[in-house]
């Protein structure tokens, strides 16, 4: 588990869907490259890029965006894991990936609210 999702969600909430997609895709790609998991680089580029894009939906579309971001992240890794490691490994990763995503939403939202509060006080 990583906190990359918190950064993706914060960026998407604060800057929008395009920036969320860029930060999501590139940060996950680089983390996998640097953490000796290169087999996940391009998969993570797509999954976390889409996650950041959907998380950046605004207004009344935000709940739908968060749902889609969660489905893309958890479902994308589950599907990829089936092909890479088998069904058992994929099932075992569902709960940790869901928790990582949920924690990312909460931390990202709290950071976003803190940044908004600081900016409004200037």
pLDDT in tens, 18-46: 999 999 999 999 999 999 899 999 999 99
Q: What is the pLDDT of residue 13?
A: 98
Instruction: Please check the confidence at residue 122 and state whether its pLDDT lies above 80.
Output: no
Contact 31, 2 (CB under 8 A): yes
Name the phi and psi angles at 121, rounded to 5.
-85, -5
State whether residue 16 is helix, strand or coil. coil
Give the count of beta carbons closer than 10 Å to the beta carbon of residue 90: 18
Q: What is the pLDDT of residues 71-109, one digit of tens each?
A: 999 999 999 999 999 999 999 999 999 999 999 999 999
Instruction: Please check the confidence at residue 16 and state whether its pLDDT lies above 90.
Output: yes
What CATH number labels 4-120? 1.10.1760.20
DSSP letter at 56? T
**Sequence spans of domains, the chain:** 4-120
Q: What is the pLDDT of residue 121?
A: 83
CA distance 54 to 89: 26
Residues contacting 101, CB < 8 A, separation 6+: 5, 51, 69, 70, 73, 74
Q: What is the pLDDT of residue 9?
A: 98
Q: What is the pTM of this model?
A: 0.94
């Amino acid at each position: 588990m990583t906190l990359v999702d918190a950064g993706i969600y914060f960026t998407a909430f604060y800057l929008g869907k395009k920036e969320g997609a860029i930060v999501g895709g590139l940060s996950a790609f680089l983390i996998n490259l640097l953490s000796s998991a290169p087999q996940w680089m391009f998969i993570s580029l797509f999954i976390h890029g889409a996650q950041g894009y959907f998380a950046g939906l605004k207004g009344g579309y935000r709940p739908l965006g968060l749902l889609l971001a969660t489905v893309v992240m958890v479902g994308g890794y589950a599907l990829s894991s089936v092909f890479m490691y088998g069904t058992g490994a994929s099932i075992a990763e569902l709960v940790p990936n869901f928790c990582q995503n949920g924690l990312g939403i909460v931390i990202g939202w709290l950071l976003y609210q803190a940044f908004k509060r600081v900016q409004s006080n200037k």
